[in-house]
Structure 1
Amino acid sequence: MVILLNKILVKFRISFSKNWNPFLFLIPALIIVIIFIILPWFFSLLESITISNPLNVTQTSIGIDHFNAVANSELFLSSFKSSNILFFIVVPIAMIISTAIAFLINSFTKRIVRNFIVTTFFSQFFISIYAIGISFIFLFNVDKNVLNNILGTDVKWLNDSVGNTSIYALSIFLIWRLVSFNVVFIYFALQKIEPMQFKIASLDNISFIKKIQIIYIPNLSKVMKTLVYLNLLEAIFLFPLTLFSGISPLEDVNINNASTIANYIYFMIRIQEFGQAGAATLISISYIVGLFLLYFFTTYSIHKLHKFYKFKKYERVFNA
């Protein structure tokens, strides 16, 4: 009996160690997630619901005053509007431009030309975002006025406190950042498509629209989904201070209607309004998670509907 029990324990320990060994490699990632995501979210929640008594700093209560202050803040609403412009307008434009450029590069017959262009796009990953920001300041800033001199215009790209010109400059900056990133991934996804698929399509004399349906969409769908997530994250964390210079750059961004959600949270921390910063963080995270879930379920539903109608089509052909 003792020998049998020892065998069972030894077998259990071996099985346990084999099953848990792969999870040990996830420990560094879990530590990073806990430190940089879970703990900040928890501290933001505490700050957002903690109300301090101005007459007695040691006396606190729980409430939603910070959420009300954020919801009624014109600066937050302006930042929220700017971020939504980047989400729903600028990111799709960047995806369309990136796809067109990737297809254009893929159409070149000489491999050395394709490699040179892709390397040129990829080289931007080694350039600091602040270095690129300085270049854009040189182009758009009212003091340098390089772009206006080239175009012969007089547009206040980064100094428009009345109109929306500053958000246009910020959108161009984001498109510049996203296109170079997207082109590389889409191009390599195109390179992975089997040449035999194109040969079969040419033999069947299939139109370009049909090629998109049966060749490009199945092969590029996963890459496109990943790029949408990454592009949205880039838009979320876009920090407009890289484009604006001045004595008080935070105020410049806010006055010029180019503040984003990330900039608003940083601004609240800068002026030590930690409760409003925490409330804005929770509102932003909830909104972003909602967008991701909406996108996931939408694409999942479209995929299921496509498979359903495809099955019905084959069923009708078989029954005929």
Structure 2
Amino acid sequence: MARTGRRQKPKQHLIEEWTGKIFTSLCIVFLVVTIFSIVYFVATKGLSTFLKDGISFAEIFGSKEWKPDGEPPLFGALPFIIGSFSTSLLAALISAPLGICAALFMIEIMPKIGRKYLQPVIELLAGIPSVVYGFVGLSVVVPFYRDVFPGQGLGIAAGATVLSIMILPTITSIATDALAALPSGLKEGSYALGATRWQTLYRTVLPTTLPALMTGVVLGMARAFGEALAVQMVIGNAPHIPGSLFESTSTLTSVITLSMGNTVMGTMQNNVLWTLALILMMMTFVFVFVVRWLEGRANR
């Protein structure tokens, strides 16, 4: 017993405590080093297009011509950037209302039936591989659009439809957590003032949880923006800006996966593909920043 009257910790406990601190510190250092290494590697490879090969920003971001084997070679990435943003935004516009309404159904309207039947189905969608979504889109979505609308069925509409199903579990899960965390007294106060259920949902529940709901939408867009295989199977992979939603186009992820294996490390085309990967990584940072900003607003 020490002079202060406090019982000293056994030596074994001190060793275990310091071992745990050292182990967790090493894990954190490893994660930080890994992240910075990936960012440094992709950034150096991507910036070599401008620093080493002498290609201008205007040619990458402003040109519509993608002819890596031409004379001279042209590396206009504008069609791929437009294709990525178009499919992601359209997928978010489709899945956001469905996901939020599904969360309202499970939490506010029919919680027993919703959580018993609907939530397991949504969680099952999250575990399906991307290639299955792509194959279903190629077998069902593309023939449907080909029969109903002009064109071959391949294009932004087919890609956005497949992506909307893929990001639906993300949006629904985050919306469900946000609605479940809402204080019950807020809704009870609305009912006490004479508001109906729909008035409470529309004027109290949704405005209060809007930042958290938008967080789910942004995270869903981030997944849709970086998806490669499923979109690659249904979008057509044509390097041009489409005139409609039912014309073939391509995305950043599609052109990287299709072309990276056919290039040699250090060549101009390979460096340009790394530049496209750098654009994807920077967009990921933008999505993370937006999510943090929305979380900060939700905690105010």
User: How does the TM-score come out when normalised to structure 2?
Assistant: 0.68
Other-structure match for 1:34: 33
**Deviation at 1:110?**
6.4
Shift in alpha-carbon separation, 1:40–1:103, aligned structure 2, 3 A: same
* Equivalent of residue 253 in structure 2, options 259, 262, 270: 262
**Deviation at 1:91?**
1.8
2:164 is paired with a residue whose SS is: helix
Cα distance in 2 between the residues matched to 1:68 and 1:267? 24
How big is the alpha-carbon RMSD for the aligned residues of Structure 1 and Structure 2? 3.9
Cα distance in 1 between the residues matched to 2:183 and 2:200? 17
**Deviation at 1:169?**
0.5
Aligned residues of 2:212 and 2:295 also touching (Cα < 8 A): no
* Equivalent of residue 233 in structure 1, options 222, 232, 240: 222
Other-structure match for 1:47: 45
Aligned residues of 1:90 and 1:171 also touching (Cα < 8 A): yes
Other-structure match for 2:282: 286
Shift in alpha-carbon separation, 1:253–1:185, aligned structure 2, 3 A: same
**Deviation at 1:168?**
0.4
1:80 pairs with 2:81: yes
Shift in alpha-carbon separation, 1:236–1:20, aligned structure 2, 3 A: farther
CA offsets, 1:244-272, max 9 Å, x none? 27xxx9xx412564311222333442331
**Deviation at 1:180?**
2.7
**Deviation at 1:127?**
1.8
Aligned residues of 1:240 and 1:259 also touching (Cα < 8 A): no
Q: Structure 1: where are the runs of 5+ without partners?
A: 1-14, 52-60, 160-165, 308-320
Cα distance in 2 between the residues matched to 1:132 and 1:88? 18
Cα distance in 1 between the residues matched to 2:25 and 2:112? 39
1:259 is paired with a residue whose SS is: coil
1:244 is paired with a residue whose SS is: helix
**Deviation at 1:101?**
2.2
Aligned residues of 2:162 and 2:230 also touching (Cα < 8 A): no
Other-structure match for 1:223: 212
1:65 is paired with a residue whose SS is: coil
Aligned residues of 2:211 and 2:294 also touching (Cα < 8 A): no
Aligned residues of 1:167 and 1:257 also touching (Cα < 8 A): yes
Shift in alpha-carbon separation, 1:109–1:70, aligned structure 2, 3 A: closer
1:174 pairs with 2:174: no
Other-structure match for 1:12: none
Other-structure match for 1:276: 272
Aligned residues of 1:87 and 1:232 also touching (Cα < 8 A): yes
Other-structure match for 2:98: 97
1:153 pairs with 2:148: yes
Q: Which amino acid aligns with 2:38?
A: P
Largest Rg, 1 or 2? 1
Aligned residues of 1:167 and 1:258 also touching (Cα < 8 A): yes
**Deviation at 1:193?**
3.1
Aligned residues of 2:88 and 2:160 also touching (Cα < 8 A): no
Shift in alpha-carbon separation, 1:68–1:112, aligned structure 2, 3 A: closer
1:25 is paired with a residue whose SS is: helix
Other-structure match for 2:6: none
Aligned residues of 1:69 and 1:276 also touching (Cα < 8 A): no
Cα distance in 2 between the residues matched to 1:241 and 1:148? 17
Q: Which amino acid aligns with 2:92?
A: V
Other-structure match for 1:126: 127
Q: Structure 2: where are the runs of 5+ without partners?
A: 1-13, 67-76, 240-246, 264-268
Cα distance in 2 between the residues matched to 1:299 and 1:197? 20
Cα distance in 1 between the residues matched to 2:176 and 2:59? 46
* Equivalent of residue 253 in structure 1, options 217, 224, 237: 237
**Deviation at 1:228?**
3.4
Other-structure match for 2:5: none
**Deviation at 1:279?**
2.1
Shift in alpha-carbon separation, 1:39–1:113, aligned structure 2, 3 A: closer
**Deviation at 1:175?**
0.8
Shift in alpha-carbon separation, 1:100–1:26, aligned structure 2, 3 A: farther
Shift in alpha-carbon separation, 1:33–1:213, aligned structure 2, 3 A: farther
Cα distance in 2 between the residues matched to 1:91 and 1:292? 16
Aligned residues of 1:158 and 1:244 also touching (Cα < 8 A): no
Total equivalences in the alignment: 263
Shift in alpha-carbon separation, 1:264–1:196, aligned structure 2, 3 A: same
CA offsets, 1:201-259, max 9 Å, x none? 211113655655544443x34632541342132022111555527xxx9xx41256431
**Deviation at 1:85?**
1.7
1:185 pairs with 2:184: no
